[in-house]
C-alpha cells in the first residue's frame, strides 16, 4: 500500500495510507486509467454512483454517466491539454439513479503518472439551496410590485361591480337575483385573493421582540390539533437549550401554521392514525449566508423543521415550490409557500424543502438575536458548549 511519503523515527506509529485519507474525504474521487475505467474510487464515489468500487472499475466512465455526459467531455479535455480543468454546476445523470446531480468537478493529471486522471466531484446541495432561496426572495419582491398594482387597479372596480349588483337585486326576479348574488360571490372571491396578495406589497420593517419559538410551536400545535389536524399525531422534538430569537410572533405563527396545514393536507388519504407530523427544533452551527451588499456572512444556526410522512412532492414542482402561483391543490392559489418564504426572508432567514415518499421536511434556518443582547450572550455559551465541549468543561472547572 502506497503512502504519502511521510517518514518517522523507528518505532513511530505515523503511517498514513492513501486509502485512509481519501476514504475520509466526503466528496466523490475517481482515478481514471487509460482505458477510461476507474483504477480507484473512494467510499463517497461508491455512494454517489450507487455502486461498489469493483463494479466502478469494470465499466468505462461513458457507461457510468452516458457518452454525452459533460463529465466524459471534461476527462477528454484534461487528457488533450494535459492541464487541470474545473467545471462548475454541471449536470451528471446516472442511469441507475433516477435523479440527476448538480456538481462542481475538478479534473487533473496525477503528477507522477500522467496516464491517470483524478476526478473530484462536489455536489452543490447547499450552494443550490442558498441560490434558490435568493431566487425565492427575488420572486417575492416581484410579487410585491404586482400586488401593489393589483390592489389599486382591481379592488376599486370590484367594489363598483358589487355595489351595482346589489342595487339591481331588489328589482329582479328570483332567477335573475341568483345571477346578481353570483356576481357578488365572485367579486368577493377576487377581493380576498387580492387581499392575500397585498401582504407581499408590505415592505415595512417587522416589529420584532424576543420570542420563545417553542411557545409559538405549542400554540400552532394546539390550533392544528383542535382543527385540521385533529386525526393526526403531532410529535414534538425540541432542543430545550435553544434561546429566544428576535422575531415577529404573529408573522412566525402565520408561517408555521401554513407549513403545518400543508403537512396535514399531504396526509389526506392515509388511514386514521397513520399520519404523523413532527415539529422539531435544533442548533446547526456552520450555516452561513452571504447576501448582496453585505460584507459579513450571516450565521443561521437556529433550525425549525416541519416533517410529515405523506406521499411527498412531485419532482417537477420541487425547484419552483416557493414561487408564487405554484400549487398541487386543485383549488389552491399557490400563494401560501411564497408567503412563508417572504416572512422568513423578512426575518433574515431561509426556508428549504427536502421531499421523498413518506418523508417531507420543510426546514427554516434563522439568525440568533443581535450580538449585544443577553439572549445572544446565552446563545454564544450554548454554541461554545456544543462546538467545543472540552473547552466548556475546562472553563466550568476553573482550569486555564
Q: Can you tell me the distance from the alpha carbon of 216 to that of 325, in angstroms, rounded to the nearest whole number? A: 28
Q: Can you tell me the distance from the alpha carbon of 378 to that of 394, in angstroms, rounded to the nearest whole number? A: 18
What number of other Cβ atoms are within 10 A of residue 38's Cβ? 23
Whether residue 253 has pLDDT greater than 70? yes
Q: Output the pLDDT for position 203.
A: 62
Whether residue 4 has pLDDT greater than 80? no
In this structure, what DSSP letter does residue 271 have? P
What number of other Cβ atoms are within 10 A of residue 334's Cβ? 15
Q: Can you tell me the distance from the alpha carbon of 113 to that of 115, in angstroms, rounded to the nearest whole number? A: 5
pLDDT band at 201 (very low <50, low <70, confident <90, very high): low
- What nine digits make up the cell of 328? 398541487
Q: Output the pLDDT for position 372.
A: 42
Does pTM top 0.75 for this prediction? no
Whether the CB-CB separation of 111 and 91 falls below 8 Å is answered with no
> If DSSP codes are grouped into helix, strand and coil, which group holds residue 62?
helix
pLDDT band at 52 (very low <50, low <70, confident <90, very high): confident
Say what percent of the chain tops pLDDT 70: 68
Beta bridge partners of 3: 17
Q: Output the pLDDT for position 22.
A: 75
Whether the CB-CB separation of 169 and 177 falls below 8 Å is answered with yes
Compute the chain's Rg from CA coordinates.
Answer: 28
- Residue in this structure with the C-alpha cell 483524478, named with its chain if needed: 118
Q: Output the pLDDT for position 10.
A: 44
pLDDT band at 396 (very low <50, low <70, confident <90, very high): very low
Which tens digit of pLDDT belongs to each residue from 278-335?
999 998 765 566 554 545 556 778 899 999 998 888 877 776 777 766 666 655 556 7
Whether the CB-CB separation of 353 and 365 falls below 8 Å is answered with no
For the ranges 5-14, 19-28, 150-159, the lowest mean pLDDT is seen at 5-14
Count of residues in the chain: 400
Amino acid at each position: 500500500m502506497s503512502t504519502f511519503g511521510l517518514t518517522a523515527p523507528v518505532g513511530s506509529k505515523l503511517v498514513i495510507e492513501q486509502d485512509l485519507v481519501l476514504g475520509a474525504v466526503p466528496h466523490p474521487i475517481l482515478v481514471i486509467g487509460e482505458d477510461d475505467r476507474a483504477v480507484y474510487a473512494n467510499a463517497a464515489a461508491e455512494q454517489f454512483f450507487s455502486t461498489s468500487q469493483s463494479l466502478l472499475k469494470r465499466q468505462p466512465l461513458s457507461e457510468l454517466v452516458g457518452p454525452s455526459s459533460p463529465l466524459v467531455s471534461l476527462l477528454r479535455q484534461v487528457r488533450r491539454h494535459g492541464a487541470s480543468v474545473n467545471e462548475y454546476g454541471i449536470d451528471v445523470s446516472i442511469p441507475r439513479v433516477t435523479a440527476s446531480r448538480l456538481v462542481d468537478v475538478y479534473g487533473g493529471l496525477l503528477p507522477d503518472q500522467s496516464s491517470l486522471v483524478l476526478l473530484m466531484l462536489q455536489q452543490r446541495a447547499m450552494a443550490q439551496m442558498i441560490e434558490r432561496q435568493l431566487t425565492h426572495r427575488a420572486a417575492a419582491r416581484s410579487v410585491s410590485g404586482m400586488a401593489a398594482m393589483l390592489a389599486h387597479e382591481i379592488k376599486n372596480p370590484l367594489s363598483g361591480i358589487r355595489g351595482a349588483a346589489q342595487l339591481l337585486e331588489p328589482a329582479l326576479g328570483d332567477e335573475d337575483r341568483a345571477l346578481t348574488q353570483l356576481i357578488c360571490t365572485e367579486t368577493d372571491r377576487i377581493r380576498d385573493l387580492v387581499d392575500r396578495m397585498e401582504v407581499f406589497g408590505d415592505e415595512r420593517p417587522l416589529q420584532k421582540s424576543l420570542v420563545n419559538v417553542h411557545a409559538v410551536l405549542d400554540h400552532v400545535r394546539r390550533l392544528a390539533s383542535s382543527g385540521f389536524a385533529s386525526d393526526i399525531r403531532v410529535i414534538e422534538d425540541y432542543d430545550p437549550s435553544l434561546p429566544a430569537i428576535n422575531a415577529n410572533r404573529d408573522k412566525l405563527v402565520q408561517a408555521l401554521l401554513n407549513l403545518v396545514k400543508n403537512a396535514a393536507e399531504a396526509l389526506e388519504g392515509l388511514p386514521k392514525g397513520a399520519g404523523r407530523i413532527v415539529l422539531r427544533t435544533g442548533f446547526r452551527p456552520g450555516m452561513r449566508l452571504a447576501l448582496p451588499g453585505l460584507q459579513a456572512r450571516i450565521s443561521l444556526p437556529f433550525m425549525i423543521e416541519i416533517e410529515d410522512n405523506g406521499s411527498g412532492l412531485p419532482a417537477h414542482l420541487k425547484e419552483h415550490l416557493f414561487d408564487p402561483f405554484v400549487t398541487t391543490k386543485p383549488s389552491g392559489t399557490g400563494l401560501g409557500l411564497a408567503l412563508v418564504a417572504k416572512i422568513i426572508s423578512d426575518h433574515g432567514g431561509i426556508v428549504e424543502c427536502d421531499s421523498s415518499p413518506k418523508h417531507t421536511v420543510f426546514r427554516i434556518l434563522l439568525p440568533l438575536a443581535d450580538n449585544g443582547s443577553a439572549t445572544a450572550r446565552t446563545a454564544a455559551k450554548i454554541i461554545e458548549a456544543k462546538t467545543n465541549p472540552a473547552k466548556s468543561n475546562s472553563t466550568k472547572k476553573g482550569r486555564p
